[in-house]
């Protein structure tokens, strides 16, 4: 397992704990569809939320909050639609894509956690 994968896995575990501490129910983690992977799928009250988790050590390569460009945004929306098609019981639910950005210091300690609601907008 590469350092990058370990960092990503660690960030996803932190994100899951962060969401659960706020009363969210996590339905799925690392869901794999034909077009890629959704990091976390959770319920914020009755709203289905696809959570993209970005974890960075420092900001030297840009901030975690800047990690979703137009191509990634489009892919996340397609994956959300694909997830709903694979889970018909959830198809009528309101849904959105959030970004949970985690920045770690050089020691590995959490410096910043930013939760951007509706980070990706459809059309």
What secondary structure does DSSP assign to 62-83, as a single string? B-GGG---HHHHHHHHHHHHHH
Q: Mean pLDDT lowest for which of 8-22, 23-37, 52-66?
A: 52-66
> Where residue 61 sits, what CATH number does that domain have?
3.40.1350.10
* pLDDT attached to residue 122: 66
The parent domain of residue 110 ranges over 3-120
* pLDDT attached to residue 68: 87
* pLDDT attached to residue 16: 95
Query: Residue 102 and residue 53: Cα distance in Å, rounded?
Result: 8
* Count of structural domains within the chain: 1
* pLDDT attached to residue 63: 78
């Amino acid at each position: 397992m590469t350092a990058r994968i370990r960092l990503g896995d660690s960030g996803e575990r932190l994100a899951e704990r962060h969401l659960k501490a706020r009363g969210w129910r996590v339905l799925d983690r690392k869901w794999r569809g034909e077009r890629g992977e959704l990091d976390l799928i959770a319920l914020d009250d009755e709203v289905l939320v696809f959570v993209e988790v970005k974890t960075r050590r420092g900001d030297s390569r840009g901030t975690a909050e800047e990690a979703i460009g137009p191509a990634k945004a489009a892919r996340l929306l397609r994956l959300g639609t694909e997830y709903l098609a694979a889970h018909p019981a959830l198809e009528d639910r309101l849904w959105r894509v959030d970004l949970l950005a985690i920045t770690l210091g050089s020691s590995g300690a959490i410096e910043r956690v930013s939760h951007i609601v509706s980070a990706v907008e459809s059309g």
